[in-house]
Amino acid sequence: MDLSVLDRLKWLQQQQMVSPEFLQILGSDGREELKRVESYLGNNNDELQSFRHFPEFGPDYDTTDGCISRTSSFQMEPVKNSGHSRAISLQNKRKPEGKTEKREKKKIKAEDETESSMKGKTNMSNTETSSEIQKPDYIHVRARRGEATDRHSLAERARREKISKKMKCLQDIVPGCNKVTGKAGMLDEIINYVQSLQQQVEFLSMKLSVINPELECHIDDLSAKQFQAYFTGLPEADSKQSIMADFRSFPLHQQGSIDYSVMNGTKDQTSSSWETHSQCIYNSLRTDSVTNFFSLK
Amino acid sequence: MERQIINKKKRVFSLEPNKNPSAVFTRKYTSHLVPALKKLNMNKNSSKQTVKHEVDMALALSAQEFAWSRFLLQKLSSSTNPTTTTSSSDGIRILERSDKEGGNKEGEIEEKLRELQKLLPGGEEMNVEEMLSEIGNYIKCLELQTIALKSIVQDST
């Protein structure tokens, strides 16, 4: 296919030499354009796996390499003075994979509009069109099969994918999100989790305020020592055990029987996952006592 | 004694333990909070709200690389009686939400995103993408904060 297309291009070039009216229609820079085309092709010959060309009209179905893909490109037309009829006929590198491959860039030009305007032009016959090739700095997106190709939906799609990527990251952070599917459920989980964390903080600070007067004596003992040991995964089973016991005996704000059980469940999970989170950065090994300890609930 | 030896063998340290972000945050947090609590103790007019204020302040100061900490600092410095991040009304809201039957699917998700924005300090000023990434590290910092608070409480009882 490549060869045939290139041959066609060369043939057209030859044709151009022959037909002066073609040149007129193109404008004075037509020849330059063709030269540019050739140089482009010469450089990137190996890269291009297929080279789409007119005389197809409208959205084309390319059957090369056994895959059908619809891209938002369109045929070539003569140059208008306004310049808005310039079009990109050269397809970018395309993998001969299935129909649902996708690229990340976005075409800024609204190609569909120009496409329809070009359909109306009947000046050129199929064989006498030439290629005007531009290489603007656009971002290119491949529309998947069956999807719209206008600018707005492409932008929407890119945005939506960014958001879903972030939701996936959040899924790893918030424990218990793996079981729920769908955005709404996950968002529910996340909201609940954040609220429960905030309530814990509030409760702890209340507790802290109650025992604050006694703090002075003990607070120097508390330290860095505890946290370091914690983070390096030493099985200080005693201290950790006390933390766990304290944790479970929280008289939580009781909002209602339903939520209480839910929160209690998630809390047990959260504490273990926090442990794993902080430990796994340091430690690939975990001692048996620790794992046993956290497995009993 | 033997056990310690065995444990030592199993211990694995990273090369730069001080750079572990969780440890860094926790260290900063306690170094902010503990002196503040001591100072509160001195003044003898500590109320529940002031402790909460200190707690939030320590959180905001230890996480200054994030956008939400800026907003939290603003909130704390602007109000003498800081608004609590949660209240009993939130609890009621959770129940309401679960009772409501979902109508429009897209509308539900939008609503939930808005609620999430309310939870995050400064969330309402961000757009959705930013907010989602900020929520991630906010959650992490909240977790570390609770661990730190727990061990402070634990140690002093």
Strand partners, A70: A61
Contact A94, A80 (CB under 8 A): no
A173 touches chain B (CB under 8 A): yes
B83-97 burial, b if ≥16 CB within 10 A, otherwise e?
A: ebbbeeebbebbeeb
Contact flag A231-B23 (C-beta cutoff 8 Å): yes
For residue range A219-257, list pLDDT tens digits in order.
554 554 455 545 544 333 333 333 343 444 444 333 333
- What is the total residue count of chain B? 157
Of B20, B38, B119, the CB nearest to A219: B38
- Beta-carbon separation of A170 and B94 below 8 A: no
In A105-164, the residues whose Cβ lies within 8 Å of chain B are 159, 162-163
Distances from the Cα of A233 to the Cαs of A271, B1, B24, B101, in angstroms? 15, 18, 16, 46
pLDDT of B29 reads 80
Say how many residues make up chain A. 297
The CA distances from residue B65 to A46, A253, B9, in Å, are 47, 32, 36
Q: pLDDT at position A282, please?
A: 39
What is the pLDDT of chain B when averaged over all its residues?
Answer: 73
What A290-293 contacts at long range (C-beta under 8 Å, 24+ apart), as own/partner pairs, is A290/A233, A290/A235, A290/A237, A290/A240, A293/A235, A293/A237, A293/A240, A293/A241, A293/A244
Nearest to B84 by CA among A252, A255, A193, A202: A202
Task: Tell whether omega for the bond before A55 is within 30 degrees of 0, i.e. cis.
Answer: yes
pLDDT band at residue B67 using 50, 70 and 90 as cut-offs: confident
Q: Are A123 and A27 in contact (CB under 8 A)?
A: no
pLDDT over threshold 50, residue B139: yes
- Select the residue from B146, B149, B157 to test the A interface by mutation, using most A Cβ atoms within 10 A: B146
Q: Which amino acid is at B100?
A: K
Q: Which pair of structure tokens corresponds to residue A145?
A: 């099969």
- Judge contact between A77 and A117, C-beta under 8 A: no
The size of the A-B interface in CB pairs under 8 A is: 207
- Which residue in chain B has the smallest CA separation from A205? B52
Residue of chain B nearest A257, judged by CA positions: B95
pLDDT of residue B112: 86
- The tens digit of pLDDT for each residue in A3-26 reads 566 666 566 666 655 455 544 444
Q: Of residues A277 and B79, which shows the higher confidence score?
A: B79
The pLDDT of residue A256: 37
Report the helix count and the strand count for chain A, using DSSP H and E.
11, 2
**Rounded mean pLDDT of B21-25?**
78
Question: Is B57 or A289 the better-scoring residue by pLDDT?
Answer: B57
The Cα A274–Cα A261 span in angstroms is 20
Provide the pLDDT for residue A47.
44
CB contact under 8 A, A194 and B116: yes
Torsion angles phi and psi, residue A61, rounded to 5: -110, 115
pTM: 0.48
Q: How far is B91 from chain A (nearest CA, A)?
A: 6
Residue to mutate among A163, A197, A211, with most B CBs inside 10 A, is A197
User: What's the rounded mean pLDDT across residues B125-142?
Assistant: 86
Task: Determine how β-strand A69-70 pairs with β-strand A61-62.
Answer: antiparallel
* Residue among A246, A224, A268 nearest B153 (CA): A246
Cβ of B41 and A215 within 8 Å?
yes
A203 φ, ψ to 5°? Answer: -60, -45
DSSP secondary structure letter of residue A61: E
Distances from the Cα of A59 to the Cα of A6, A95, A210, angstroms: 21, 19, 73
Identify the CA nearest to A175 among candidates A151, A193, A196: A193
pLDDT band at B15 (very low <50, low <70, confident <90, very high): low
C-alpha B105/C-alpha B140 separation (Å) is: 29
pLDDT (0 to 100) of residue B116: 85
CB pair distance less than 8 Å for B149 and A255: no
CA–CA min distance B115, chain A (Å):
8
Query: Six-digit token pair at B24?
Result: 């860094």
The H or E element that residue A62 is part of is strand A61-62
The answer, yes or no, to whether ipTM is higher than 0.85 is no
Side chain identity at A199, as an amino acid letter?
Q
For residue A111, the tally of other CB atoms under 10 A from its CB is: 19
Cβ–Cβ < 8 Å for B12, A282: yes
Shortest distance between the Cα of A71 and any Cα of chain B, in A, equals 29
**CB contact at 8 A, A23 and A122:** no
What pairs with residue A69 in β-bridges?
A: A62
pLDDT of residue B71: 83
Mean pLDDT, rounded, for B40-65: 73
Question: Chain B residues with CB inside 8 Å of A213's CB?
Answer: 41
Q: Could you read off the pLDDT tens digit of each residue along chain A, which spans 297 residues?
A: 555 666 665 666 666 554 555 444 444 444 555 455 445 444 444 444 444 444 444 444 444 444 444 444 444 444 444 444 343 333 344 444 444 444 434 444 444 444 444 444 444 444 444 444 555 566 666 667 777 778 889 999 999 899 888 888 888 888 878 777 778 888 888 898 999 999 998 888 888 877 766 655 555 545 544 555 455 443 333 333 333 434 444 443 333 333 333 344 344 444 444 444 444 443 433 343 334 444 444
Contact A209 B47 (CB under 8 A): yes
Q: Which candidate from B52, B136, B150 shows the least CB-CB separation from A170?
A: B136
